[in-house]
Structure 1
Amino acid sequence: MKTQTISVGLVGFGMAGRTFHAPLIQASPSLELNAVVSRDPDRVRADLPAAEVLPKAAQLFARRDIDLVVIATPNETHFPLAKAALNAGKHVVIDKPFSVTASEARLLKAQADEAERLLSVFHNRRWDSDFLTLKSLIEDGTLGRVVSLESRFDRFRPQVTDRWRDRHQPGAGIWYDLGPHLLDQARELFGMPRAILLELATAREGAEVDDDFLALLEYDHLRVTLQASSLVAEPTPRFRVHGTSGSFVKYGLDPQEGWLKAGQRPTPGWGVDASPGTLTLDKAGVEGDREETREAVALVSREAPVVPGDYTAYYDGIAETLLNGAPPPVTSESALDVMTLLETGLDSYRQGRWVKLKEGGSKLRRLHHR
């Protein structure tokens, strides 16, 4: 691409488009949000007075001045819209999940590869402060060899809404809503698991789709537990991680989503979580004077060093890919892995048993043998 500014068109201006994509696109100096497809033009113009509002996605795809199309629409529309955008020669970003089936995701990846177009999925929680902090603790060996990781994303939303996510349709339910976040983070830390076990529940009165899940991922010498629910009022740990050298426990969500919902925009110092997690480590091991034969263990707890979150890194990375050929911030291959985990999890739930993946645990084995 010869120009130094990438012209962006956004399809959808609901919660995802309005809260995440539009402000983060605008925060990138190399991206320019020029057009939005929406059925509510007044809502768009209130936030983006300079952007043109179009009623149909086809009109956006036909515009020669649009380089990158961002799709932030209901999950079951991801495949047809991304396919049409790629057919029109556009680079494409899709809000998570990639699609509603792994086969659709594979078709889109093949189409993008053949057309030499960028295809990426907005797995923004790779840039959560707590996740980046945990990733740093694992990589620098602070926790030793990790043996157990519990990752939860709980909410208290007892009322069933009339939104598409709560209706009985493809891609609805909490597994397709929050599952991609937790699965992607686990995959980033440990690679693909050897097997998955999923339990889904419909807990709220009048609910049509799953609003609670428990997923177990099996790795060599490690068990990963992923949970999400719409009926948890008491705060639960976002992360609880145990290793051979100690534990890391973090309460509270990364603040970036809350700030964006409140209308705040990225500024210097953005992404610093004011609620750091707690490290509990073997004091003797930390000080380097443990005797292997000593039975008593003295533990010390302290605040974990916080790595700031940075959702702006995603679209800055997209710009670097398109302008300078840098690797995408989220590759289509990694997003396809998440789709494989989503589908294999559903297979596990239907069959009521663990289901193995063809390949898994390779990254974890490398981590353990470094």
Structure 2
Amino acid sequence: MNTPIKTAIIAFGAAGKFMHAPFIKTQPEHYEVIAVVERHKEDSRELFPNAKIARSLDEVLAMKELELIIITTPNDTHFPYAKAALLAGKHVVVDKPFTITSAEALELIELSKKVDKVISVFQNRRYVTDFLTIKRLLHNKLLGEVHEFEAHYDRYRPEAKPNAWREEPAPGSGILYDLGAHLIDQAFYLFGLPEEITADIRMQRSHARTVDNFELKLGYDHKKVILKSGMLVREPGPRYMIHGDIGSFIKYGEDPQEVFLRAGKLPTEVPNWGMEDESIYGLIHTDISGHTFNEKYPSVKGDYGYYYENLYKTLREDAPLRERPEHAYNVIKLIELAEESNAKKATIKCSGFIDVPYPRD
């Protein structure tokens, strides 16, 4: 079957409008949006003029022709909405984080198997320039055996953002679930599941009501992985620092896609979509075939749209699912372990993961 997948987007806030809709809109041969849930507005008409504007999830679930539901609502709704969609016989994409608890994540995994429907989590940070470049470096062993990996995902927001549910003191709020979900998934993708964790989780800003700073140290056999994020970083340092036994890679700067998306640009409207400017290429210092290199390393093209291209191949061509729900379960499990480590002010052993493979291409 090569017909477009009949799709609904559940909510058209920032995530739905800027992170998902542009890549559905620009893949019309793969996806047809037939409904969008907007409780009060009709902003989606600009991109999807023929789609039904629904006011509730139930209204959409009743559409028999619907195949795929994309959930972009606040974190505490992910579990009940995804469960309802699976029970209604729909495939499901959930924006990260998957759920608030690992128990909820496991229930959705088991339910998806029972009803024989795909559930996947939108890990778009697998498809940014810096991560794809790092994948290539490590695959080609250009740094040798990696012994230390440090990744940052920082922002500068000294004041509280008005009406931001992510800054409310509620389950699943704060940057550990938000930005942390990206960093943890990247670490697991590159290095697998850790043996231990030491976590420092804080509320740094005087007005903070939920987590706005964290540092996670993941222990492997001979490898240390450090993941950091904060909301008081006005002058960013390197996003990535990787040190191996024959070389290092240092990377500044941010993937360009989000800036264009939040400005309302579609991927088809921007020349060289997902390409970084040479000024923020990473620096590699290594030895290759007896020669020393200390120079800029060209970044690989990024594209969040790869996620939806891969998903289409799974749903229509029976290709293996790349963003598996078990991957997302492991992210939530580590967040729970990080909270335990922070509460105990101690390094703790990691357990409770689901041992499943991560893509290697």
Contact 1:151 1:239 in 2 (8 A): yes
- Equivalent residue letter for 2:118: L
Q: Deviations over 1:287-343 (max 9, x none)?
A: 427xxxxxxxxx642111321112111011111111010011301111111111111
Aligned to 1:293: none
Matched, 1:326 2:331: no
Which residue of the partner structure matches residue 340 of structure 2?
347
The residue aligned with 1:11 is 10
Give the match's secondary structure for 2:242. strand
C-alpha distance in structure 2 between counterparts of 1:57 and 1:359, whole Å: 33
Return 5+ residue gaps in structure 1 as ranges: 290-298
What are the within-5 Å matches in structure 2 for residues 156-167 of structure 1?
Answer: 156-161=156-161, 162-167=163-168
Contact 2:333 2:352 in 1 (8 A): no
Cα distance in 1 for residues equivalent to 2:342 and 2:82: 29
Deviates more, 1:139-148 or 1:199-208: 199-208
Secondary structure of the equivalent of 1:321? helix
Equivalence map 1:37-76=2 (5 Å): 37-76=37-76
Q: CA offset at residue 92 of structure 1?
A: 0.3
**Structure 2 contact 326–356 (Cα < 8 Å) conserved:** no
2:234 aligned with 1:233: yes
Aligned residue number for residue 193 of structure 1: 194
Please state whether the residue corresponding to 1:237 is helix, strand or coil.
coil
Q: Please state if 1:25 is matched with 2:21.
A: no
The separation in 2 between residues aligned to 1:186 and 1:60, in whole angstroms, is: 36
Question: Are the counterparts in 2 of residues 195 and 218 from structure 1 also a CA contact under 8 Å?
Answer: yes
1:4-46 residue CA offsets vs partner (Å, 9 max, x unmatched) = 1100001111111011111111222211111111123232224
1:288 is matched with 290
SS in 2 for 1:83: helix
Once the two structures are superposed, residues 245-287 of structure 1 have per-residue CA deviations (whole angstroms, 9 ceiling, x without a partner) of: 1110111111111111112222373211112111112xxx334
SS of residue in 1 equivalent to 2:267 = coil
Shift of 1:3: 5.5
How far the C-alpha of 1:47 sits from its partner, in A, is 4.1
Give every structure 1 segment of 4 or more consecutive aligned residues whose post-TM-superposition deviation is greater than 4 Å: none
In the alignment, what sits opposite 1:110? 110
Match runs of 1:180-259 below 5 Å: 180-259=181-260
Task: Please tell me whether the aligned partners of residues 214 and 228 of structure 1 are also in contact (alpha carbons under 8 angstroms).
Answer: yes
Distance in 1, matches of 2:313 and 2:134, equals 26
Q: Aligned with 1:41: secondary structure?
A: coil
Give the number of aligned pairs.
351
Provide the residue aligned with 2:282 in structure 1.
277
What TM-score comes out, normalization by structure 2 length?
A: 0.93
1:148-180 deviation line (CA, Å, top 9, x unaligned): 111001110111122100001111001001010
- Decide which moves more: 321-330 or 40-49: 40-49
CA distance in 1, matches of 2:351, 2:181: 19
Tell me how far apart the structure 2 counterparts of residues 350 and 25 of structure 1 sit (CA, whole Å).
42
Question: CA shift at 1:363, angstroms?
Answer: 10
Look up the SS of the partner of 2:332 in the other structure: helix
Q: Is the 8 A contact 1:10 1:71 kept in 2?
A: yes
AA partner of residue 271 (structure 1): G
Deviations 1:170-222 (A, max 9, x none): 11001001010000000000000101111111111211001011110001111
* CA displacement, residues 126-157 of structure 1 (integer Å, 9 cap, x when unaligned): 11110010111011010001011110011101
Contact 1:22 1:33 (C-alpha < 8 Å) held by counterparts: no
Distance 1:342 1:220 in 2: 21
Q: Kindly indicate whether residue 291 of structure 2 is the aligned counterpart of residue 313 of structure 1.
A: no
SS at match of 2:276: coil
1:139-154 aligned within 5 A? 139-154=139-154
Query: Kindly, what percent of the aligned residue pairs are identical?
Result: 40
- Aligned pairs for 1:93-132 (under 5 A) are 93-132=93-132
More displaced stretch, 149-158 vs 264-273: 264-273
1:192/1:359 contact within 8 Å kept: no
Contact preservation (8 Å) 1:215, 1:227: yes
Structural RMSD (CA):
1.8
Q: Distance in 1 between matches of 2:170 and 2:252?
A: 33
> Of residues 328, 332, 335 in structure 2, which corresponds to 1:335?
328
The amino acid across from 1:234 in the alignment is E
Q: For residue 187 of structure 1, what is the amino acid of its counterpart?
A: F
The residue number in structure 2 matching 1:295 is none
SS for the counterpart of 1:154 is coil
